[in-house]
């Protein structure tokens, strides 16, 4: 199949990494792949090394009136059988371009429950632009429901395909834990609670810090490891100082080896205020980590409270701290939750299954259209 992906950026992010893994697999299955994008990033070289032609649509994003024509010209020249768009700008531009160019299969992936979709006008604009898209892949069932609820797409267009991860990389039996003493300055016996993700408002780090203040009152040995970096770092460091948590909270920076980092943690937290189906959560589950997560997006159907993790209300430091203390106070129960979480991921969230299901979507649309023509 000739597949043409359109994505907003080639930076390192969830949607982008999913795309890269998909491209790798489909190349191995002998499909022909091309990628068009807006913002430059490190994945450019990775794609080029895989032999994938990459095209920059525009440096100026949607503000560039020539972007549409450039993409159209590309699609007319390359004549892909499938156009699959990822993220907002690419949906808005890629879907109409594919429809005008007459591409047979037009698919979009929705990676987040973006709060802006609650705005009726923005959603209307989005709906008009992407109206000719045939199938919308939502990264979780909740993300799909959210799209229906906000009036972005009708239910029959939406198919939920859960994110999957590379289970070989996140194998608790193989991965050697990072050395938490040299890396984070923790004592070997300190319980380490970690969060992995960019420091931006969506991830709710400020709620976690509030919760940490409550936790250390009960359990002074508890240590929080904040893995990642981002624009909120100075603000969060100031909050840490205000709460008097310098001794208890480590800003570890970006991790070069997420599996080893997860392996070194005793409990993993997600304090996100909104999410699709966060990959870092699946990765933590695969590593058999006990989890405390806020009930947002795909997390709600992924984790069963009290069986595969602890699920708490978003934006509530009190509830988050209770969840953490519950797991920290009962390591055996925590280990049981972790083991069940790992089993869940191994059963239903492998990368291979996800890729196969996405290919099925392409194939069904291809043959479906062909029948209509006869």
Partner 1 sequence: MTGDARAERPSGGEPIRVAMLINGYYPVVGGAERQLAAVAPALVARGLRVDVLTRRFPGLAPQENIEGVSVHRLPATGPKAVKSLTFTVAALRLLRRLRPDVLHAHDLYSPSTTALVAKRIFGTPVVVKVPRGGHLGDLARLRGRFLGHRRIAWLRRGVDRFVVISREIDAELDAAGVPPERRISIPNAVDTGRFAPLAPDRKAALRRALDLPEGPIVVYTGRLAPEKRLHDLVGIWPAVRAGCPGAQLVLVGSGDQAASLARAAGEGVSLPGPVLDVAPYLQAADLFVLPSSAEGLSNALLEAMSAGLACVATAVGAGPELIDPGENGWLIPAGEPEALRRAVLAALNEPQRRAAVGLRARERVASRYSLPVVAARFPELYRQVIVAAPGRTCGSSTS
Interface residues with partner 1 (CB under 8 A)? 9-12, 24, 27, 39-44, 46, 49-51, 167-169, 173-174, 176, 179, 181-183, 185, 229, 233, 251-257, 260
Compare residues 151 and 230 and give the one whose CB is closer to partner 1.
230
CA neighbours within 13 Å on the CB side: how many for 162?
A: 19
Compare residues 159 and 232 and give the one whose CB is closer to partner 1.
232
Compare residues 49 and 347 and give the one whose CB is closer to partner 1.
49
Residues 195 and 168: beta-carbon distance below 8 Å: no
CB of 191 to partner 1, least distance (A): 18
Compare residues 100 and 167 and give the one whose CB is closer to partner 1.
167
Compare residues 145 and 229 and give the one whose CB is closer to partner 1.
229
CA neighbours within 13 Å on the CB side: how many for 117?
A: 21
Residues 228 and 196: beta-carbon distance below 8 Å: yes
Q: Which of 107, 104, 10, 92 is nearest to 54 (CA)?
A: 10
CB of 58 to partner 1, least distance (A): 14
Look-up of token digits 């479906």: 368
Compare residues 42 and 154 and give the one whose CB is closer to partner 1.
42
Compare residues 226 and 312 and give the one whose CB is closer to partner 1.
226
**The pairing of beta strand 135-138 with beta strand 105-110:** parallel
CB of 366 to partner 1, least distance (A): 26
CB of 59 to partner 1, least distance (A): 10
CB of 176 to partner 1, least distance (A): 4
Six-digit token string for 371: 């029948």
CB of 179 to partner 1, least distance (A): 7
Look-up of token digits 């970096």: 229
* Terminal alpha carbon distance of the chain: 21
CB of 92 to partner 1, least distance (A): 21
Sequence-separated (6 or more) residues with CB below 8 Å from residue 169:
175, 259
d(Cα 189, Cα 290) in Å, to the nearest integer?
A: 17
Sequence-separated (6 or more) residues with CB below 8 Å from residue 63:
none
């Amino acid at each position: 199949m000739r597949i043409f992906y359109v994505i907003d950026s080639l930076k390192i992010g969830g949607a982008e990494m999913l795309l890269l893994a998909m491209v790798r697999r489909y190349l191995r299955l002998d499909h022909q792949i091309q990628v068009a994008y807006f913002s430059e990033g490190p994945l450019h070289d990775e794609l080029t090394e895989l032999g994938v032609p990459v095209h920059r649509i525009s440096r100026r994003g949607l503000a560039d009136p020539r972007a549409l024509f450039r993409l159209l010209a590309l699609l007319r020249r390359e004549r892909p059988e499938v156009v699959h768009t990822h993220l907002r700008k690419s949906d808005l531009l890629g879907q109409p371009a594919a429809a005008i160019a007459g591409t047979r299969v037009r698919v979009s992936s929705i990676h987040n429950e973006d709060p802006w979709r609650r705005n009726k006008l923005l959603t209307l604009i989005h709906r008009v632009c992407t109206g000719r898209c045939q199938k919308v892949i939502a990264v979780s069932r909740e993300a799909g429901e959210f799209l229906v609820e906000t009036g972005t797409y009708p239910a029959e267009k939406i198919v939920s395909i859960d994110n999957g991860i590379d289970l070989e990389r996140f194998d608790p039996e193989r991965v050697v834990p990072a050395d938490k003493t040299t890396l984070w300055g923790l004592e070997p016996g300190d319980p380490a609670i970690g969060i992995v993700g960019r420091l931006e408002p969506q991830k709710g780090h400020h709620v976690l810090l509030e919760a940490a203040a409550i936790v250390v009152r009960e359990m002074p040995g508890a240590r929080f490891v904040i893995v990642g970096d981002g624009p909120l770092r100075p603000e969060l460091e100031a909050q840490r100082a205000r709460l008097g948590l310098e001794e208890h909270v480590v800003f570890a920076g970006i991790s070069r080896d997420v599996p080893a980092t997860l392996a070194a943690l005793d409990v993993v937290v997600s304090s996100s205020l909104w999410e699709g189906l966060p990959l870092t959560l699946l990765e933590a589950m695969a590593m058999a980590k006990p989890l405390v997560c806020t009930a947002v997006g795909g997390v709600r159907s992924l984790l069963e409270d009290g069986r595969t993790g602890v699920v708490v209300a978003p934006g509530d430091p009190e509830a988050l701290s209770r969840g953490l203390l519950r797991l920290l106070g009962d390591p055996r129960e925590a280990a049981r939750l972790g083991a069940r979480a790992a089993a869940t991921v191994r059963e239903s969230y492998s990368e291979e299954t996800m890729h196969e299901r996405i290919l099925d979507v392409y194939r069904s649309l291809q043959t479906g259209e062909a029948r209509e023509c006869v």
